[in-house]
Amino acid sequence: MVKPMPKVGSCRNGCNSARKSARRIPKGVIHVQASFNNTIVTVTDVQGRVISWSSAGTCGFKGTRRGTPFAAQTTIGNAIQAVVDQGIQRAEVIINGPSLGRDATLRAIR
């Protein structure tokens, strides 16, 4: 008589968890790329591993509205919301680009 083998998850140690456990991140880096057409926000940890990202296009803005300060403010809010749940306390901000979204992102972060 053959015994059925138990199902094992994709991990080698036999775990069946479907989700990763949330990492606790004390400090992060917020990268803002603000162009005239779009605003892209990436939140990384100190080593440079991406934790969260967002852009004006993924927030639902289309066409020339992606380059507006309001779109940049909405984008930074979406990117930071996921990181705050992971316990980030401090953040360094790096801003690149010539757009009007530069000032709006700083105001939204504060």
CATH code at 27-109: 3.30.420.80
pLDDT class for 72, splitting at 50, 70, 90? very high
Structure tokens at 21: 């456990």
Higher pLDDT, 5 or 57: 57
Residue 9's pLDDT is 58
Mean pLDDT of 51-74: 91
DSSP string for residues in 12-37:
TT----SSPPPPP-SEEEEEEEE-SS
State whether residue 105 is helix, strand or coil. Answer: helix
What global pTM score does this model have?
A: 0.75
Q: Which of 39, 31, 33 is CA-nearest to residue 74?
A: 39
CA distance 34 to 99: 5
